[in-house]
Amino acid sequence: MNTAGIQLGVCLAAHSPLGLRRALEVTSDLGDLWLDLPTDTPLGLVDPRRCLRDRDYLDEVAKALVGARVGCVSNSRDAQLLLGPHGRHTDPVATGTPARKREHAVDCALGSIRLAERIGAPAVRLLVGCPDFAYWLSWPGDPGGWDRNVADFFAHAEPIMAAARDSGLRILLEPHPKQIVYDRISSASVLAAAHPDAELIDLCVDPANLAAMGHDPVAAVTGWAGRMYAVHAKDLQRSGHAGQPPGNGWSRYGPQPPIRFRALGCGELDWPAIVAALLDEGFTGVVYVEHEDVLLPREQSLARGLALLGSLLPAGTPEGRTW
């Protein structure tokens, strides 16, 4: 039994093709785990718009979740339309004008908050997009830089943050190249912003996402001064090919060489060092195993990840050197 204070969970998105009830049944076979429950409309597990407006539907979802330990209700695809981009490439999520797409994002975020409040989940994780990626670079005559994106976030997220405050929930942002928080500096600019809503925000850190952009995955989980609420766990494989590598699942996070995500232990990340860093930091949140490996079945991928993490967490009180 893990006595480290670190808890294990899974992201239920892995089982979204099964529907909510079956996904919960299959996940329960993996053990007594915390769940990251996605409400993304393309996944079809939960419809956050109905959670917002339909009390009977909200009660139905809550009933299905009785006995499940949901540590986080999340929305990645719909919520991204809060800040954009709002071009045609986001039409599969929601169509219409930028204002209509932003309205869709707010509704889905509010529905996620309503669900979290209903079932007693303490946090809602949102990927909120980014209004202007050009601010990755500096522009002569425009000293605002990335702070303009941060200001846009707090302006457009006001109804979301008000609902979170009223419900006593934390809002989690996940550093990712599509988001206003994509590295330590941009994350710190949101957490330390001179805005009253900044105090409601913590982070869900995914070392693989940061490593895909060239950051140290061990350093990614250290030094957050208690603002790292949760961790996502998957592995990373980087390609050395000059062109597109053979096989499935390869993508690019910007101008870097191709990468693909793997089950824990199938890539190059030093997960023993990452877990040791979490223990050294005194982290007591949940590490959620993700499945984004195109080479392994989801059950095998999740079981492998949970087994690896379980083997790295202390099963009792460490004695230190005894001789």
Mean pLDDT of 10-19: 95
Q: How confident is the model at residue 242 (pLDDT cuts 50, 70, 90)?
A: confident
With a cut of 70, say whether residue 4 has pLDDT above it. Answer: no
Q: How confident is the model at residue 58 (pLDDT cuts 50, 70, 90)?
A: very high
List, for residues 179-205, the tens digit of each pLDDT value. Answer: 999 999 999 999 999 999 999 999 999
Mean pLDDT of 91-105: 93
Mean pLDDT of 45-52: 97
Mean pLDDT of 259-288: 96
Helices (H), strands (E): how many in the chain?
10, 10
pLDDT for the residue numbered 141: 82
| Cβ contacts of 37 within 8 Å, gap of 6 or more | 12, 45, 46, 65, 68, 70, 72, 73, 74, 115, 121
List, for residues 111-159, the tens digit of each pLDDT value. Answer: 999 999 999 999 999 999 999 999 888 888 887 789 999 999 999 999 9
Mean pLDDT of 25-49: 96
With a cut of 80, say whether residue 61 has pLDDT above it. Answer: yes
pLDDT for the residue numbered 241: 78
Q: What is the mean pLDDT of the chain?
A: 94
Please tell me which residue, 2 or 48, carries the higher pLDDT value.
Answer: 48
3-state SS, 212-267, equals HCCCCCCHHHCCCCCCEEEEEECEEEECCCCCCCCCCCCECCCCCCCEEEECCCCC
List, for residues 211-237, the tens digit of each pLDDT value. Answer: 999 999 999 999 999 999 999 999 999
By CB atoms closer than 10 A (0-12, 13-18, 19+), residue 283 is: buried
Mean pLDDT of 275-295: 96
Q: What global pTM score does this model have? A: 0.94
